[in-house]
Amino acid sequence: MLYENMIINDTYQVVEEIGSGGMGVVYLAYHLHLLKYVVLKKIKNPYANISLLRNEVDILKTLHHPYLPQVYDFIEYEGNLYTVIDYIDGYDLNYYINNNWQFTESQLIKWLKQLCEVLSYLHSRNPQILHTDIKPGNIIITTGGDICLIDFGISLYNTDVIKGLSEYYSSPEQYNNFYYLQYGEGAYCQLDERTDIYSLGATFYHLMTGIRPDVKNYEQPSISAYSLPYSEALVSIVEKSMQYDINSRFRDADAMLHAIDNIRKQDTRYKKYILIQIVSSVIAAVLIVSGVLLIVGGYQQKAKNDFEREYNTFLQQADSGDSSNAAQLGMHILNNGEYSSVIGTSQRADILQKIADCFYINEDYYNAAHYYELELNYNKSELVSRDLILSLIKEGSADKAQKYIDETKSRYPDSAVLAVIEAQLSYVKGEYAQSAEIVVQNESKLSTDAENRYAAYIIKGDSYTALKMYSEAVEAYNEAKAAKETPAVLRKLCNTYLQLAAKSGDDSYKNSAMECLGSISERYSLNLEDTLNYSQVVLSTGKAEDYEKCKKNLLDLSERYNDCRIYILLAELADATADINAGKYCQKAHELFKNGSENERAYVSSESLASIKELYKKYCGPDW
């Protein structure tokens, strides 16, 4: 058991226990390095349930969606295993049900749409992911009023064997499969996305009626049997999703989402209600408008001033390469209701584009595609279409990308955008030589537009890098840099120069890498990888005058990141300068590597691992 103020692995300070259930005990903790609250989820019985815990961690680590939590770590402490997950500030839907909350139609429609969006994302993964445990207790309503779908403890890939049930909310086929596997009773059938559709409907049945559904009760009243303040269309959607026959439900989350989007067109009562609301609003507005104008004017001026201040800060962060902070600030600006009346169309489009660019730079292609798609509502240019298509291709949504490719071909049949898209398609198929050749063949067409030239030569450079043709990759990246200098292309150049140095043994390439890092430092913002690269070059070139600066940079990083690569470099630096802290850094590197996830350990190169093992043996005695 964990207690208040306990510090776990020198990283997580326990605040309090916030929940306990069949899958484990949950603690609120404070991440001492990231300076944010997280959740430590402990498995109750590691011998019986370890596969379920690993299942949740493995699934969540691969997922990135606005309505899902992010998993940070998988740790062991005093013989117990914990997952470290985003702390979601809010209450689950059980809280509202237990407090007799009356949900409005607009609330239900908003949450139902968001859940369909996140299910569409899960079901479109390869392999497909089924949540299989959708219920009020696993849906948190955040302080911003959005949903967050949690607890993947019994989730599965569509080829897996069922792992559990959730009474009242599991689908008929889940019950049949479970009893078949446990007791040899009933019939077994393959689960698919319609299983989650049923559980989603059962959850909203409970929210709308206040009564738990029961799949085993064949006389259970339908929602329409109750006198409820909801439209016929909404009731019909939830009832369709709860059909006992799996073939009678919506075929997938996208079909259900389409029905929700058309809810207003389907329901006559809702139209009448809206008409009455409009008439009433107009009358009320006429009566009070004269008194409100003065107050609104003052509020609007304050909102305008606040918006301009935050908008300028956002632009500075985005242009400097501070992509993570810029994306967060941009989303805050767009979601701030006070700014809705002062943001111009061009400004909104610009914010959406820069947020999308930030996600794209960080290789979060799902969210990049989401914001490029939103930008298309305000800026229907071929470049926005190109960036959306590239994001969808890289994210793995080829079918959705094809729709936009067809539209782009129709609108811009001779555009250089099509060459960029064709090159990217070849690249993701692993046809690297073909990808580079497409760029070569279209050079004359690409030369007329700097944006397309930049994108094309980035793909060409990536293709040559994949082929380990580093000299050709440098040439391509320099072409991209000539078209448009960005922190992204400078980082690619830096990494490629380092690859050339390692391959050839020529230290002059390291000097070129340092020039790239210097440009990033002068004109943009150095990130974690930049600082690690800088430190590696300093250590390998043996420039003692740079050691002190290098050490300071690494110690600054250690305050913000719990990354064993930082301590490996600190240990190497301490060894080179006879620093008495060499042993301490070795021990910290060993601890972080041992407790790190498989993905985190994969970031440590074989050369760095060999180096720290030797240093650990030298300063700490026993072998690594």
Instruction: Answer for the pair 371, 339: CB distance below 8 angstroms, yes or no.
Output: no
Last residue of a domain, one of 392, 407, 422: 407
Domain range for residue 31? 7-86
Q: Does 140 reside within a domain? A: yes
The arithmetic mean of pLDDT across residues 417-446, rounded, is 93
Classify 623 as helix, strand or coil. coil
Q: Does 151 reside within a domain? A: yes
Q: Does 450 reside within a domain? A: yes
pLDDT of residue 5: 86
Same domain for 244 and 161:
yes
Q: Does 1 reside within a domain? A: no
- Which of these ranges, 357-361, 456-460, 593-597, 610-614, has the smallest mean pLDDT? 593-597
pLDDT above 90: percentage of residues in the chain: 31
pLDDT of residue 47: 46
Instruction: Kindly tell me if the per-residue pLDDT of 140 is higher than 60.
Output: yes
CATH of the domain at 425: 1.25.40.10
Same domain for 518 and 461:
yes
Single out the residue of 536, 531, 594, 519 nearest to residue 561, CA to CA.
531
Single out the residue of 86, 56, 157, 64 nearest to residue 394, CA to CA.
64
Question: Which tens digits make up the pLDDT trace of 45-81?
Answer: 544 456 655 665 666 677 888 898 887 777 888 878 8
Q: Give the C-alpha separation, 351 to 344, whole Å.
A: 11
Q: Give the C-alpha separation, 442 to 404, whole Å.
A: 21
Contacts of 12 (CB under 8 A, 6+ apart): 29, 30, 31, 32, 38, 40, 75, 84
Count other C-beta atoms under 10 Å from residue 352's C-beta. Answer: 24
The arithmetic mean of pLDDT across residues 271-287, rounded, is 57
Same domain for 137 and 110:
yes
Instruction: Answer for the pair 240, 222: CB distance below 8 angstroms, yes or no.
Output: no
Instruction: Kindly tell me if the per-residue pLDDT of 529 is higher than 90.
Output: no
Last residue of a domain, one of 407, 431, 446: 407
pLDDT of residue 481: 94
pLDDT above 70: percentage of residues in the chain: 86
Question: Which tens digits make up the pLDDT trace of 375-388?
Answer: 988 888 889 999 99
Contacts of 328 (CB under 8 A, 6+ apart): none
pLDDT of residue 272: 55
Same domain for 255 and 112:
yes
The arithmetic mean of pLDDT across residues 470-499, rounded, is 93
Same domain for 276 and 381:
yes
In Å, how far from its chain's centre is CA 297?
Answer: 39
Count other C-beta atoms under 10 Å from residue 409's C-beta. Answer: 13
Average pLDDT, the chain: 84
The arithmetic mean of pLDDT across residues 567-595, rounded, is 92
- Which of these ranges, 425-434, 564-573, 577-586, 597-606, has the smallest mean pLDDT? 597-606
CATH of the domain at 117: 1.10.510.10
Q: How confident is the model at residue 280 (pLDDT cuts 50, 70, 90)?
A: low
Please give the sequence-ordered ranges of beta strands (E in DSSP) within 99-241, or none if there are none: 129-130, 139-142, 147-149, 156-157
Q: How is residue 170 annotated by DSSP?
A: S
Instruction: Answer for the pair 461, 480: CB distance below 8 angstroms, yes or no.
Output: yes
Handedness of CA 93, 96, 97, 101 (dihedral sign): negative
The arithmetic mean of pLDDT across residues 92-105, rounded, is 88
Q: How confident is the model at residue 188 (pLDDT cuts 50, 70, 90)?
A: low
pLDDT of residue 48: 47
Q: Global pTM?
A: 0.52
pLDDT of residue 534: 87
Same domain for 202 and 146:
yes
Q: Does 2 reside within a domain? A: no
Task: Tell me the angle at which helices 232-241 and 253-261 cross, rounded to the nearest 10 degrees.
Answer: 170
pLDDT of residue 461: 96
Instruction: Kindly tell me if the per-residue pLDDT of 266 is higher than 60.
Output: no
Q: How confident is the model at residue 436 (pLDDT cuts 50, 70, 90)?
A: very high
Same domain for 200 and 345:
no
Q: Give the C-alpha separation, 36 to 49, whole Å.
A: 29
Query: Into how many domains does the chain fold?
Result: 5
pLDDT of residue 267: 54
In Å, how far from its chain's centre is CA 115?
Answer: 16
Q: Most confidently modeled of 169-173, 561-565, 566-570? A: 566-570
The arithmetic mean of pLDDT across residues 155-163, rounded, is 51
Same domain for 74 and 54:
yes
